């Protein structure tokens, strides 16, 4: 027993130290789907969007364009920017001081100095982002290649109906890694939910005093994947019989939980748990009404794909027929 206790302590320390060493990693939360059909690109568009080239300044279609509407990704049609956030910086490329929430991902450039911006949905290269130049009150400039964009006037864009789900099953790195590529999942974000502390940091959540659990926010297309299917997948990727822990990670922040947004989600979660109970499992998962979800720090987003590592306490096992 003494040796087992020592081993468990070492595993916990390794798990925690692994997270702390990640603080230099920038968000690269891009859902890459090799089976998805993207818009066909011209050779010139491929040079910029896929090979990270740059169009010549003052030549792009949208540099001096002043229409009212959305600027969307040329490759996948995801909304990226709104016309209200566009401004004239005189740099020779379209400039924006804000993006549609969650639409743009920042990645350290290979030159080691700049920060690249890419479409969070498909990974298309957009340009670079610069801070501290003083052009607008937001003090941010997204310098974007026109060739990476399409413009759609307000009222002309067909909206995709989406839904949201929140699951907590131990370290959110592993939960995200095993759920983000499910067909129908549009975007995943790791963060904190279920507690009482506003704007919690990772270090605060680790103290076990905030009430928050490490959780995953899933934006999905209900016409392609159901909430029930996502819930079943959630139970198949973690040990839902453990209380306030998952593998070597111990504490209330690692508890198993389904955070529902409405009665339909609650009933579905309870239905899935009843199936598990009928199979003989002792389910420890809490089913709780969702409160505010707080996005985690950038370096936690899509951690395993960014670092090239694999989950250390999550694995898929088939349970449901």
* Host H or E run for residue 217: strand 213-220
Rg (C-alpha) for the chain, rounded Å, is 21
End-to-end CA distance of the chain: 38
Interstrand relation of 163-169 and 185-193 (parallel, antiparallel or unpaired): unpaired
User: Which residues are tagged catalytic?
Assistant: 143, 171
Distance separating alpha carbons of residues 84 and 89, to the nearest angstrom: 14
Query: If DSSP states are collapsed to H, E and C, what string results for 89-134?
Result: CCCCCCEECCCCCCCEEEEECCCCCCEEEEECCCCCEEEEEEECCC
| Count of residues making up the chain | 321
Distance separating alpha carbons of residues 253 and 207, to the nearest angstrom: 9
Distance separating alpha carbons of residues 309 and 307, to the nearest angstrom: 5
Distance separating alpha carbons of residues 250 and 43, to the nearest angstrom: 52
Distance separating alpha carbons of residues 243 and 56, to the nearest angstrom: 57
Work out whether the CA dihedral 46, 48, 53, 56 comes out positive or negative.
positive
Q: Is 148 helix (H, G, I), strand (E, B) or coil?
A: helix
Query: If DSSP states are collapsed to H, E and C, what string results for 165-180?
Result: EEEEECCHHHHHHHHC
Burial of 296 (0-12, 13-18, 19+ CB in 10 A): buried
Distance separating alpha carbons of residues 231 and 161, to the nearest angstrom: 19
């Amino acid at each position: 027993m003494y040796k087992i206790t020592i081993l468990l302590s070492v595993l916990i320390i390794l798990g925690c130290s692994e997270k702390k060493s990640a603080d230099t990693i920038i968000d690269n939360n891009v859902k890459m789907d090799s089976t998805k059909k993207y818009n066909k690109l011209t050779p010139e568009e491929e040079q910029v969007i896929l090979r990270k080239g740059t169009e010549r300044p003052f030549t792009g279609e949208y540099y001096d364009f002043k229409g009212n509407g959305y600027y969307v990704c040329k490759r996948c049609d995801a909304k990226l920017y709104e016309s209200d956030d566009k401004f004239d910086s005189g740099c020779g490329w379209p400039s924006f001081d804000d993006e549609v929430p969650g639409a743009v991902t920042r990645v350290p450039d290979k030159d080691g100095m700049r920060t690249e911006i890419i479409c969070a949905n498909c990974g298309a290269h957009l340009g670079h982002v610069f801070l501290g130049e003083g052009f607008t009150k937001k003090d941010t400039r997204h310098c974007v290649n026109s060739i990476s964009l399409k413009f759609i006037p307000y009222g002309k864009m067909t909206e995709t109906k989406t839904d949201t789900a929140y699951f907590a099953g131990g370290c959110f790195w592993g939960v995200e890694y095993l759920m983000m590529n499910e067909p129908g999942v549009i975007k995943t974000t790791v963060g904190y939910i279920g507690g009482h502390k506003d704007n919690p940091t990772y270090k605060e959540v680790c103290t076990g005093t905030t009430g928050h659990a490490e959780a995953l926010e899933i934006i999905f297309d209900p016409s392609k994947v159901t909430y029930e299917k996502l819930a079943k997948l959630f139970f198949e990727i973690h040990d839902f019989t453990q209380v306030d822990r998952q593998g070597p990670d111990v504490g209330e922040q690692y508890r198993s939980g389904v955070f529902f947004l409405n009665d339909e989600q609650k009933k579905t979660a309870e239905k899935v748990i009843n199936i598990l109970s009928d199979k003989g499992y002792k389910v420890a998962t809490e089913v709780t009404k969702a409160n505010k979800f707080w996005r985690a720090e950038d370096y936690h987003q899509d951690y395993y794909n960014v670092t090239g590592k694999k989950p250390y306490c999550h694995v898929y096992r088939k349970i449901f027929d």
